[in-house]
Structure 1
Amino acid sequence: MGKVKLTDTILRDAHQSLMATRMSTAEMLPIVEKLDKVGFEALEVWGGATFDASIRFLKEDPWERLREIKKRAKNTKLQMLLRGQNLLGYRHYADDIVDKFVQKSVENGIDVIRIFDALNDVRNIRQACESTKKYGAHAQLAICYTISPVHTIEYYKNLAKEMEELRADSIAIKDMSGILLPYRAYELVKELKKTVKVPIEIHTHTTAGLGEMTCIKAIEAGVDIVDTAMSPFSSGTSQPATESLVRTLQGTEFDTGLDLELLKEIAEYFKPIRKKHLECGDLNPQALFTEPNIVEYQLPGGMLSNMLSQLKAQKAENKYEDVLREIPKVRADLGYPPLVTPLSQMVGTQSVFNVLTGSRYKMIPKEIKDYVKGFYGKSPVPISDEMKKIIIGDDEIFNGRPADLIENEYDKIKQEIGDLAKSDEDVLMYAMFPQVAKTYLENRDKPEKIGKEKKIEEQVINVIF
């Protein structure tokens, strides 16, 4: 036991969870030096949806953001979230792209890479983990926490062992929907601590009203690091508040030793930023509501808002409850995948189709077919022959590592983007988001054009499925 370390998510997951990743680099930079003085284990500043949102909505260079943060954070490790073989995009990339992306992330300032796979298929995190180690960064492998008949404590222990065998430097319990119950967290952390030697970190959300209790029980069980968010962007679909946890642990054996006065100053800085985003509609007050039923449906916050947009577009908001009830059924049909990007969007879309057409699996998105064919990895439990027949007929199923089907593609992509790319970083941006990155690269030297396009784009709701 002893002192608990904190990783603060204010510059990444906090604003991603509450306001669709709309905090700009200009809003971040003035406070980085103070955040750096606190003594956090790490600052989560990059990855997840920040890369996409930077170029798509904010018309900013995500690499430049990282470099500027690094200049100001001289003492604290910078952390990012990476979707394994998916990197920060929405498909699997070839190994050479994964390797190059990790190399450039580390060169530009990342110290800790948290790597996860939506299916907890370790084959999909192997390359990213090897590259992270190769370029001298800390490889933190993440267990996507979910609830199903197959996701037992034993299942998670075996997964943690596999991750340690891959040479993970630490392991995160990634509770993306905020559904990890406090006493379950206690048992899980206790068992993982007995099973592996590397440090354990816990990442949860307060969507269901459980986050703070879950963190306390995990701390009592011996967890090494806890993810929190500075109070102005904490709670709801975000993380528990940093200052509140620091105060709670003061004077106990778990005391973080962090300076509350400095944390207060940082919170004051973020309050007007929060107010601004609330007034312009980026921060939806609904994201701050407590929704205990989320434990049943297991939906991450982003999936809920995407699903509502889909139903609204079809003038079918009255079908919301029906879709919520359909999601657990679709998930069971598909072998209980954890509901995290991209699987959460896929399961949500299939559920919407099932309800709106009035006939289950009458319409099936290509992504669901590819998933059943094995192109995303291995489902936690085998999908029944009956379901396979309904979804893909007699099509063949691939049982290998999905990325083995993709030939090295970096040079081809570099050639494709040509002179628009001035660096490897530009090429990687284009590799992940071809249309959006191309538009950004074409216009980056024309500030007036970027400003105009930004206004137009801000009026459009982009829902990615």
Structure 2
Amino acid sequence: MQDYSVNQFLKLAKTPKIDIEVCDVTLRDGEQMPGVVFRADEKLEIAIRLNEVGVEIIEAGFPVVSEAEKRAVQDITNLGLDSKISVLSRSVPKDVEVALDCDVDMVSVFIATSELHLKYKLHMTCAEAVKCAFETVEFAKDHGLIVRFSAEDATRTDFDLLKRLYRKAEEYRADYVSIADTVGIMNPRTTGYLVSEIKKEVDIPICMHCHDDLGMALANTLAAAEAGAKQLHTTINGIGERSGNTPLEELLVALRVHHDVDRYDTTKLTPLSKLVQSCSGVMMPKNKAVVGENAFAHESGIHVAAVLEEPRTYELYSPEMVGSARRIIIGKHTGAKALKYITKKMGYDLKKDEICLLAEKVKRCSEFKRPISCDELRRLIHDLDIEVVYPGP
């Protein structure tokens, strides 16, 4: 394990040890992103890749939605992956029956518990809603499934009520209770407090399902883990409804850097991200953490010079760790040392004054607000009134 300097602050802050597992919900919650539909073959490929990363649980879908969705879930369960396969279930036994037909390992039985959702969505009293939920939990347990009881909109539910519901879920033999921050209202401090208080109420594991409406899904998920949450929910690239969910790739790298959790194969993260971008049509910003095109790109002369000497100066972790590669960008901020390195890689051996001339040309060309390709750089070199020496391959 690389010795990240941040570890000194973890020790000073007395950061607790964590015991976690990851449940990726890309194939269910991720597909609820407007305009995203995964074909059956795409779902299979994504599930296989998640299994290769080492994700413990894959939420494969919501099989009661359609026959096609049910068949896709069945195809995934038939792969015989090491990852457990879970599906979503409303608080009705019919959904559990469909899950059983798919031969899944786990169901996530959910019911909205906030006054807002009960009044305007379910049009039910709390007593009516939870009666349906716990009857469904009991039905699923009687049929041999692992059951996660999920309180939808938990973070806007009356706190005393929420604690009672989770205690009741444990009485009904639920294997997990799940906190769904459905509209992303939490921050790390409130998340940590909520999880630690729920942990006092139940002995079964707690799950944390975060949305990113305030841009804090990752931070909240980490705070939940540090407060004792066991199961952390993610989607690849953070796709999902509205602003999306906790990004798998960011969580796994953060767990490795901050908590020495190194059992996941992070070298597969960038290829997996690209696969999901292709299948979903949702392209990541260039500056996206971990998997963005610019995550390991360097242009500034000072930065490039340091990175060429020792990559750790401006890279917290190596690009190879996440299946990516370093890129040295030619542009307005590219210095002489970087140009010397790039041109040598291209097969040229330019003298110091020639590099300076080339740097001036690069700066003038880059005023068009775009980086310069190697082919363009080659033309600039040949346009110089110098004798070009080729040192060989």
Q: TM-score scaled to structure 1, two decimals?
A: 0.51
Query: 1:141, CA displacement in angstroms?
Result: 0.5
Partner of 2:178: 172
Report if the CA contact (8 A) 2:238-2:248 is conserved: no
Residue of 235, 239, 242 corresponding to 1:229: 235
Is 1:134 the counterpart of 2:142 in the alignment?
yes
1:379-390 alignment runs, 5 A limit: none
Residue of 241, 244, 247 corresponding to 2:247: 241
Residue of 9, 28, 44 corresponding to 1:29: 44
Partner of 1:217: 223
Report if the CA contact (8 A) 1:103-1:131 is conserved: no
Change (3 A) 1:113 1:20: farther
AA partner of residue 83 (structure 1): R
Is 1:79 the counterpart of 2:94 in the alignment?
no
Change (3 A) 1:260 1:116: same
- SS of the residue 2:27 aligns to: helix
Report if the CA contact (8 A) 1:229-1:240 is conserved: yes
Partner of 2:163: 157
Query: 1:62, CA displacement in angstroms?
Result: 2.1
Report if the CA contact (8 A) 1:79-1:114 is conserved: yes
AA partner of residue 28 (structure 1): K
1:191-202 alignment runs, 5 A limit: 191-202=197-208
Gaps of 5+ in 2: 1-16, 114-125, 289-393
Q: Tell me the alpha carbon deviations over residues 198-218 of structure 1, each in whole angstroms, 9 at most, x when there is no partner.
A: 000000111222212211211
Report if the CA contact (8 A) 1:80-1:112 is conserved: yes
Is 1:11 the counterpart of 2:27 in the alignment?
yes
Change (3 A) 1:214 1:133: same
Query: 1:220, CA displacement in angstroms?
Result: 1.4
**Distance in 2, Cα, partners of 1:136 & 1:146:** 26
Report if the CA contact (8 A) 2:148-2:177 is conserved: yes
AA partner of residue 77 (structure 1): K
**Distance in 1, Cα, partners of 2:225 & 2:56:** 15
Change (3 A) 1:13 1:30: same
Residue of 152, 175, 178 corresponding to 1:144: 152
Report if the CA contact (8 A) 1:3-1:255 is conserved: no
- SS of the residue 2:243 aligns to: coil
Report if the CA contact (8 A) 2:22-2:234 is conserved: yes
1:301-312 alignment runs, 5 A limit: none
Report if the CA contact (8 A) 1:143-1:174 is conserved: yes
Larger RCO of the pair (alpha carbons < 8 Å, separation 6+): 1
AA partner of residue 26 (structure 1): D
Change (3 A) 1:9 1:217: same
AA partner of residue 4 (structure 1): I
1:31-430 alignment runs, 5 A limit: 31-47=46-62, 51-52=64-65, 55=66, 61-85=68-92, 98=93, 101-119=95-113, 121-146=129-154, 151-231=157-237, 233=239, 237-253=243-259, 255=261, 257-275=263-281
Report if the CA contact (8 A) 1:146-1:175 is conserved: yes
Report if the CA contact (8 A) 2:155-2:181 is conserved: no
Q: Tell me the alpha carbon deviations over residues 23-51 of structure 1, each in whole angstroms, 9 at most, x when there is no partner.
A: 2213222332222222212101111xx65
Report if the CA contact (8 A) 1:4-1:255 is conserved: no
Query: 1:152, CA displacement in angstroms?
Result: 4.1
Bigger mean CA deviation after superposition, 251-260 or 265-274:
251-260
**Distance in 2, Cα, partners of 1:166 & 1:180:** 28
Report if the CA contact (8 A) 2:29-2:241 is conserved: no
Query: 1:188, CA displacement in angstroms?
Result: 0.9
AA partner of residue 241 (structure 1): P
- SS of the residue 2:18 aligns to: coil
- Cα RMSD for the two superposed structures: 2.6
More helix by share: 1
Report if the CA contact (8 A) 1:114-1:142 is conserved: yes
AA partner of residue 75 (structure 1): D
Greater C-alpha Rg: 2
- SS of the residue 1:250 aligns to: helix
- Structure 1 segments of 4 or more deviating over 6 A? none
Report if the CA contact (8 A) 2:38-2:280 is conserved: no
Change (3 A) 1:254 1:51: farther
Work out the percentage of aligned pairs sharing the same amino acid: 24
Q: How many residues align?
A: 256
Gaps of 5+ in 1: 86-97, 289-465
AA partner of residue 213 (structure 2): T
AA partner of residue 266 (structure 1): L
Report if the CA contact (8 A) 1:232-1:274 is conserved: no
**Distance in 1, Cα, partners of 2:54 & 2:132:** 33
AA partner of residue 73 (structure 2): L
Q: Tell me the alpha carbon deviations over residues 244-278 of structure 1, each in whole angstroms, 9 at most, x when there is no partner.
A: 11111114446252111122222222222233x67
Change (3 A) 1:249 1:103: same
Report if the CA contact (8 A) 2:179-2:207 is conserved: yes
**Distance in 2, Cα, partners of 1:242 & 1:205:** 13
- SS of the residue 1:79 aligns to: strand
Report if the CA contact (8 A) 1:5-1:256 is conserved: no
